[in-house]
């Protein structure tokens, strides 16, 4: 009986301990405590947001910058002379030059085949875009080239018309 009594007593002690731990967990859950995984995700999200804010503080763009650009269109329609545009993408960066190579397709639309971008004081381009995907009527100046802050990062981006309208 001694063994059964201590065995029964030990089992009873285990049950009481389990019930009290379960009750504490139930009380904490009822009070709105977050599960461990959720708390960890919230910490990770808060840390990522703080990191993004720190990086964003280093962006030197100026959303109020209203840069200008100029383009020189070729006087011929043979496609041998590129359209050349130049302008500033930021008030602190040197001027960029954009050389737009083009040809007329079977429908008389001007198709931009290649865009080369170079710094003001350099001859060689630092970036070449092989197929710009721009097709516009020849009457649209410079295939709609613009320098504009498309993604609101404070730096101007270049934009071309992708496709003309279906109508006249």
Task: Note the pLDDT tens digit of each residue in 72-85.
Answer: 988 887 878 999 99
Looking at the fold, whether 97 and 23 belong to one and the same domain comes out as no
The model carries a pTM of: 0.59
* Residue range(s) defining the domain that contains residue 24: 2-57
pLDDT confidence of residue 40: 66
Looking at the fold, whether 11 and 84 belong to one and the same domain comes out as no
Looking at the fold, whether 90 and 147 belong to one and the same domain comes out as yes
Looking at the fold, whether 48 and 81 belong to one and the same domain comes out as no
Is 84 part of a structural domain of the chain?
A: yes
Looking at the fold, whether 153 and 91 belong to one and the same domain comes out as yes
Looking at the fold, whether 74 and 129 belong to one and the same domain comes out as yes
Residue with tokens 């063994």: 3
Phi and psi of 112, rounded to 5°? Answer: -85, 120
What residues form DSSP beta bridges with 147?
158
Length of the chain: 168
Task: Note the pLDDT tens digit of each residue in 125-163.
Answer: 999 999 888 998 888 889 889 998 888 888 889 999 888
pLDDT confidence of residue 48: 65
Looking at the fold, whether 75 and 122 belong to one and the same domain comes out as yes
């Amino acid at each position: 009986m001694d063994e059964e009594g201590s065995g029964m007593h030990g089992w009873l002690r285990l049950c009481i301990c389990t019930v009290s731990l379960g009750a504490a967990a139930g009380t904490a859950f009822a009070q709105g405590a977050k599960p461990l995984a959720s708390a960890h995700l919230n910490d990770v999200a808060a840390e990522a947001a703080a990191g993004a804010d720190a990086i964003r503080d280093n962006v030197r763009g100026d959303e109020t910058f209203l840069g200008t650009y100029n383009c020189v269109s070729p006087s011929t329609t043979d496609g041998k002379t590129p359209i050349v545009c130049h302008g500033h993408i930021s008030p602190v960066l040197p001027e960029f030059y954009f050389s737009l190579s083009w040809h007329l397709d079977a429908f008389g639309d001007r198709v931009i085949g290649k865009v080369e971008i170079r710094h003001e004081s350099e001859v060689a381009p630092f970036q070449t875009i092989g197929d710009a995907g721009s097709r516009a009527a020849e009457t649209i100046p410079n295939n709609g080239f613009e320098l504009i802050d498309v993604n609101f990062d404070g730096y101007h981006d270049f934009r071309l018309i992708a496709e003309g309208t279906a109508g006249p």
